[in-house]
Structure 1
Amino acid sequence: MRAVEFHEYGGPEVLRVVRTAAPEPGPGQVTVEAVWAGVNFADVKARAEGYRVTSLPHRPGLEVSGRIRAVGAGVTGLRAGQQVIALVDGGGYAEVVLAQAARVFPLPEGLDLRTAAALPTVLPTAHALVHEVGRLRAGESVLVHGAAGGIGTAVGQLARTAGAGAVYGVASSDAKADYALKHGYDEVFRPGAFETDVRRATGGRGVDLVLDPVGGDTLRRGLEALAVFGRLVSFGNAGGAEPWRAGQDELYAQGRSVAGFSVLGLARSAPEALRALTERALRTVCDGVVVLPVTAEFSLSDAADTHRLIGGRTSTGKLLLRIQ
């Protein structure tokens, strides 16, 4: 089979297409003949700086859609030939992908494989940020960093459906801001002064919920944008800065709180909770609540081009690799 790997860290050029034997499923596992694979910023960080990489060579890719090739011992409810989507902890850029059965989901009726490949990491994360962790209530306001990305696109729609009083975004360009405004956002700010803009837009009050994948100083400034009793959810460290920590001085006086979320962390620690979350999230697409546009697709051999696009911070929506 063909797969994309990197044998050293570096720019997109270190990605190479290799031919290798297809994996076989062990107990509790399945193999999926991938048709589509989602591309995420986490893949770029893995290639560039070893994010979540345990050894080299490494095969990136966190989400795929396709058909089950084989099932391992002890697997129930899944069968060869079944159309599925899967969340994997690496290995998605390949014609045959090994996945834990607990993270494999039958393709919901009415959903096509192309659309489904955009969902396994993005949609459960967005749902958790708005509902399970962020606990957004009707009438509350929310500020979302990365508003034009895949997660930001889904969050804007979910927040609007949840009855948010105002949905604010942060985006780095006019093009990204325009994109976000078409997907549920009321106003979009620039990263350099978002906390000041939030105070202006809210009459000095601040927002009830901040969703932050950037970390570092952006997280600190996000706390300053919170209203009394506001909540901040951290779900990444895309900026690569040293983690900034909040303590009593930042939280106690106005009853603010900080939480965190990682879909892969949940997959490892509480697979049944992940399964329930993913099933709830998928229903929002099947019901038409969320539309997640695929804004670009590339062949497997052109995986480096997807990384250049994401790494250049110019992409919007979701990018996919065509595997078969």
Structure 2
Amino acid sequence: MLDHGRALLRSCCLALPLLAAAALAAPVQADPSGTDAATRLLSVTQGEGRAQRVTVHSGAMRADMGLTVFPARDPDAPAPVLYLLNGSAGGIDGSSWTDHADLAGFFAGEQVTVVVPDGGEGSYFTDWRADDPALGRQRWTTFLTAELPALIDAEFDGTGADAVAGISMAAASVFQLAVAAPGRYRAVGSYSGCVRTSDPVGQAMVAAVVARWRGNPVNMWGPFTDPAWAANDAYLQAEKLRGATLYVSSGSGAPGRFDTVEELDGNPGKLADQITLGGALEAITARCTHQLRDRLRQLDIPATFDFRPTGTHSWKYWEQDLHNSWPLFRAALNR
């Protein structure tokens, strides 16, 4: 995660002037193509421990999509579903929930199906308006809100009650998904993210994340002047979040309980990166999270905010955020 964070900060410093010029001027070609074969379940195989590897074909993405699924405590009884989205690296190179959180152990006694999709690096898990030369076809909103839930519910006896949570890049995406499909998720968890995406600072952050994976943000939501940026900004569209259980967290960027050599396998280099780069990134998300709190207060939309006095942009804190938010999610999923 820190390697990706270093690249993101470098992109912010070096690539944004060029990206801004491109995003203001580059033409966007609408993609008129539809889907190919119908979305369908392809395979379910046993993974390690309780995990199952699932492959589905997405008609919208025109691709076979991989997932890791942890079935509910009683797989023969109906269960709600919790979707966990990865950060800007999309779960590659050891950057997934399945690599850094004990999902099998923590949820072993819970009647909930946990789903972790593969991929999505630099995509913001949204529907891109045009295929990208580097990132290809990205139709994540359609896949996650319209295609995948029906397949998961059919295969794992879902109740139709869903929650979604994400880290870093996906901490913005989870709100965008909830805005795009009001009522789809009973609960939303956002850990260390910047939800506001259409103001100049937000656009700079989005462009840097996309550029890290050699994508062009113009292919996502058009030039920076395009109304699609505001339409996908959950800060501006927050009214559509009303009724969902919301949990939002961020550290301050100052070193905390998990920022020690012992937590990082005795590697002082990793610790230095986590404190400097992870601290800088988390300080940014703290500012964003305070802005979102103020916005929801203005609209009188209930939400739980957890502002940790310390903590960097790193996995141990996100695992703890998941644990802290789960009681709220459980109540929302079972109400």
Answer whether TM exceeds 0.5 for this pair: no
TM (norm. structure 2) is: 0.26
Greater helix fraction, Structure 1 or Structure 2: 2
